[in-house]
Amino acid sequence: QVHMVESGGGLAQPGGSLRLSCEVSGITSALNAMGWYRQAPGKQRESIAHITRIGSTNYGDSAKGRFTISRDNAKSTIYLQMNSLKPEDTAVYYCAASYKSVDGSNWFRYPQNYDYWGQGTQVTVSS
């Protein structure tokens, strides 16, 4: 079992930055991937950024060039640094973890590949 708690969401101005954190507890040594998704009202859950057991990263189109995923193994925490925020980044952001084997870059597009989810943290980008 894995338990995940997100923090760091809030209100940011367009062009600003936020850093989300996700603290993970439980049997984390066998996890093969951890990542971030987001979901805006009326929209499907969207893949944002992912990091594998060996440190490979994958980014969704919305995140490329602006967001960075990282992890601190000592703190059992993953982070999502979000820069150059836009109003369209407004959503609930979820962190997720999976024991499943990663099979190609398209694997990250599908939320059903993840086994555990946090409760979500709201990010609002507005002036």
- Residue 1 and residue 7: Cα distance in Å, rounded? 20
Residues 6 or more apart in contact with residue 104 via CB below 8 angstroms: none
- pLDDT-derived band at 30 (thresholds 50, 70, 90) equals confident
Predicted confidence band at 29 (pLDDT cuts at 50, 70, 90)?
confident
pLDDT at 113: 95
- State yes or no: pLDDT of 74 exceeds 90: no
* pLDDT value at residue 61: 96
Confidence of residue 73 (pLDDT cuts 50, 70, 90): confident
How are beta strands 2-7 and 121-125 bridged, if at all?
Answer: unpaired
**pLDDT recorded at residue 27:** 80
Query: In the prediction, which pLDDT does 114 show?
Result: 96
Q: Read off the tokens for 61.
A: 């189109």
User: Residue 94: exposed, middle, or buried by beta-carbon count in 10 A (0-12, 13-18, 19+)?
Assistant: buried
What are the φ and ψ backbone dihedral angles of 94, each rounded to 5 degrees? Answer: -120, 140
Whole-number pLDDT of residue 17: 98
